[in-house]
Amino acid sequence: MTTEQLEKRKKVICDLLQDELYVPMKEKEFAMFLQVPKADRAALGEVLQALVIEGKAEITQKGKIIKGKGRQLIGTFISNAKGFGFIEIEDQEDDLYVPEGKTHGAFHKDTVQAVLLPPKGGKRREAEIVKVLEHGITNVVGTFQVASSGNFGFVVPDNGKLAADIFVPKERSKGAVEGHKVVVEITSYGGDGKKPEGKVIEILGHINDPGVDIMSIVRGYELPVEFAEKQLKQAERVAVPVGEMDMTGRMDLRDVQMVTIDGEDAKDLDDAVSLSMEGNLYCLGVHIADVSNYVQENSALDWEAKERGTSVYLVDRVIPMLPHTLSNGICSLNAGENRLALSCMMKINNKGEVVDYKIAETVVKVDRRMSYTSVSKILEDKDEAECKEYEALVPMFERMNELAHILRKNRRKRGSIDFDFPESKIILDKEGHPTDIKPYDRNEATKLIEDFMLIANETVAEHFFWMELPFVYRNHDNPDPEKIQKLGTFLKNFGYSIKVTGDEIHPKEIQKLLTKIEGTPEEALLSRLSLRSMKQAKYTTECTGHFGLACKYYCHFTSPIRRYPDLQIHRIIKEQLRGKMKPERIEHYNEILPEVAKHSSQMERRADEAERETDKLKKAEYMNARIGECFEGVISGITNYGLYVELPDTVEGLVHVSSIPGDYYYYDEAAYEMVGEKTGKRYKLGERITVQVHEVDVMARTIDFVLPVE
């Protein structure tokens, strides 16, 4: 069938579908009605399929052909408790807005089919959901409440995006009582006025029981906690001491002076560093635990690690990617123990350039387990007691610090962006209640390890890029031009500017901005807004570069205990080193790596969200004990419903616009200010302001501030 014939036939069918007298028919009836000979029925099917793809025709669940509702798009529905929502479409930068009344019963995280609505004045395109293709959520975590009659109950979801409570018949409540945290399985999704229904499948405990609040978040994000018996036994079987056979064929580095440098409470020590001099060259060794030696491809442990994608670090616990037998045992580079490693040994000149390197399978023995605090005391405080305690290592630490500064200077020169946000650590008591929120100390030691891990990751990525072998890269794409323009407009309000060439910005411009604002009251705010204007980093099989680090080649090589992409590329590195990267293995990796990269990126997002939610929960609980107290903070965000204020300990709350005394305030979007209608008083982003804790909803994780009466 020629293109001309196809278009003619499409027009005939479209005219028929739009006829007021047309009665929906199945394809066979349609063919008979149009008197299409049996020999041409396949061609009719092609025409109908083309019309469905274009959205001009639609086939109902009963197989009847009806007039279409426009070009249909498939994506994930993100609902809002107020009734509207958004559709996220893969590889499409902007979401589609779905107005209230156009969701047609779609549930949060459903895969939906939608059609674009006619454009309105706003920039964001609107859509209407026409069909739910697949439900994304089957279980919901929430608080059980008993109806006044006592004949049934309902679950109030923890997830604020779920608009409706879930009805639970008494006989399906599993004996849950008022205030129980439960997992409910959805049996009916309701929609169009009807509530969803479900049955309780697990009772997590009472809302006030220690740890239940965090476990509710864990279950809500479907984070796997326990390992299966088969996986635990496999971990025990492989976690045997390193013997002579294990070390055969490996480079022996046990006599090389090396240390691990981690936080005091770290148990999975997966990286060690060494440094010596060769003339004017720094010989830096980054030695990473050879986890792939113990986690074989396609083993039970490997499948579980791949599914988890990453370890998850919550405020009160770590959910590891691998069992502790491995992560805290044989795969941890414990001092004085023989350990198998994969080492990247680099020769670096005084400009911070890697002039030579070697990647090898090694056996190592760490001299000392160091903490960031100890190394910082040696380098920054010149602490006498600490220097004496680690006397044999002090010269190496001083050279390391020297090299770290050279590497940092080189990265800054090329435009690498260093977002140094105030981070915090939430201190909990034995019952899991927050007692303090302390700033996280990013000292010379933490920065030194960051610098060394970055240069190792870059070196490994570039090496495998030029080998043209299948690999998993860590990419960070250039920012969206529209977001950069918005950032530029916003910065002008503070007297700053960024240079944009065409539709692109060089990372050096962001770095220059961060240097200019360093130490100013607006530093934290503008840094955060700059970060928000950027895209998220992700794992891919293509090497497209890392915008934030201003480098062409980057991967994650340094943490195979806690990140699956690192473990995966360790296997590739070892196969290449051993000469086993044959055509069939290349084909194998080309086949599996795209899904590994995609799934790992998704699991990373899930972990980040869960970590944020547990932090928000404990911060809300912490502030709940401080209702009525006053704090000084910075206006970190302005919307038409109020001012977001961030305190020095990173707690953020909302001053609702209706609570601002003395005037009627409105949001001036162009100036990013809240303005008093009569007085003209203005509240600006970055402005220091005193707030009083007014109300806290711990379960909703929200904090409301008010401006204290002067």
In single-letter form, the type of residue at position 312 comes to V
The mean pLDDT of 235-252, rounded to a whole number, is 93
CA gap 399, 394 in Å, rounded: 9
- Any idea which residue has 């539709």 for tokens? 503
Confidence of residue 187 (pLDDT cuts 50, 70, 90): very high
Same domain for 464 and 368: yes
Q: What percent of the chain has pLDDT over 70?
A: 96
Q: What is the pLDDT of residues 329-342, one digit of tens each?
A: 999 999 999 999 99
Q: What is the pLDDT of residue 499?
A: 82
Q: What is the pLDDT of residue 43?
A: 82
Q: Could you tell me the residue range of the domain that residue 453 belongs to?
A: 229-475+547-614
Same domain for 578 and 522: no
Please report whether residue 224 resides in a domain.
Answer: no
Confidence of residue 53 (pLDDT cuts 50, 70, 90): low
Instruction: State which of 67, 83, 98 marks the end of a domain.
Output: 67
**Virtual CA dihedral for 629, 630, 631, 632, nearest 10 degrees?**
180
Rg (CA), the chain: 29
Please report whether residue 258 resides in a domain.
Answer: yes
Is 337:366 a contact under the CB 8 Å cutoff? yes
Q: What is the pLDDT of residue 581?
A: 95
10: domain CATH number is: 1.10.10
Same domain for 336 and 253: yes
Same domain for 378 and 421: yes
Phi, psi of 114 (to 5 degrees): -140, 160
97: domain CATH number is: 2.40.50.140
Q: What is the pLDDT of residue 665?
A: 92
Same domain for 671 and 570: no
Token duo for residue 560: 């195979």
Q: What is the pLDDT of residue 163?
A: 76
Q: Is the dihedral of CA 109, 111, 112, 116 positive or negative?
A: positive
Q: What is the pLDDT of residues 121-151, one digit of tens each?
A: 666 778 888 888 899 899 999 999 998 887 8
Same domain for 518 and 407: no
Q: What is the pLDDT of residue 1?
A: 57
Q: Identify which of 409, 559, 360, 543 has the alpha carbon closest to the alpha carbon of residue 469.
A: 543
The mean-pLDDT minimum among 127-136, 324-333, 360-369, 697-706 falls in: 127-136
CA gap 389, 238 in Å, rounded: 36
pLDDT of 307 over the 90 cut: yes
CA gap 416, 414 in Å, rounded: 6
Q: What percent of the chain has pLDDT over 90?
A: 59
Q: What is the pLDDT of residue 31?
A: 83
CA gap 311, 564 in Å, rounded: 9
pLDDT of 180 over the 90 cut: yes
Please report whether residue 223 resides in a domain.
Answer: no
pLDDT of 507 over the 90 cut: no
Same domain for 486 and 398: no
Same domain for 670 and 562: no
Q: What is the pLDDT of residue 121?
A: 60
Confidence of residue 17 (pLDDT cuts 50, 70, 90): confident
Q: What is the pLDDT of residue 644?
A: 93
CA gap 113, 108 in Å, rounded: 14
Q: What is the pLDDT of residues 382-420, one digit of tens each?
A: 999 999 999 999 999 999 999 999 999 999 898 888 776
Same domain for 399 and 365: yes
Residue 628 burial (CB count, 10 A): 8
Q: What is the pLDDT of residue 452?
A: 97
The mean-pLDDT minimum among 406-410, 484-488, 679-683 falls in: 484-488
Confidence of residue 453 (pLDDT cuts 50, 70, 90): very high
pLDDT of 231 over the 90 cut: yes
Q: What is the pLDDT of residue 119?
A: 65
Please report whether residue 540 resides in a domain.
Answer: no
Please report whether residue 541 resides in a domain.
Answer: no
Q: What is the pLDDT of residues 612-655, one digit of tens each?
A: 999 999 999 999 999 999 999 988 888 889 999 999 888 999 99
Q: Identify which of 229, 235, 283, 287 has the alpha carbon closest to the alpha carbon of residue 258.
A: 287
The mean pLDDT of 202-215, rounded to a whole number, is 92
Q: What is the pLDDT of residue 500?
A: 76
Instruction: State which of 67, 84, 115 marks the end of a domain.
Output: 67
Per DSSP, the three-state class of 503 is coil
pLDDT of 468 over the 70 cut: yes
Please report whether residue 222 resides in a domain.
Answer: no
Q: What is the pLDDT of residues 690-699, one digit of tens each?
A: 999 999 999 8
Domain tally, the chain: 6
- Any idea which residue has 């086993």 for tokens? 580
The mean pLDDT of 195-199, rounded to a whole number, is 91
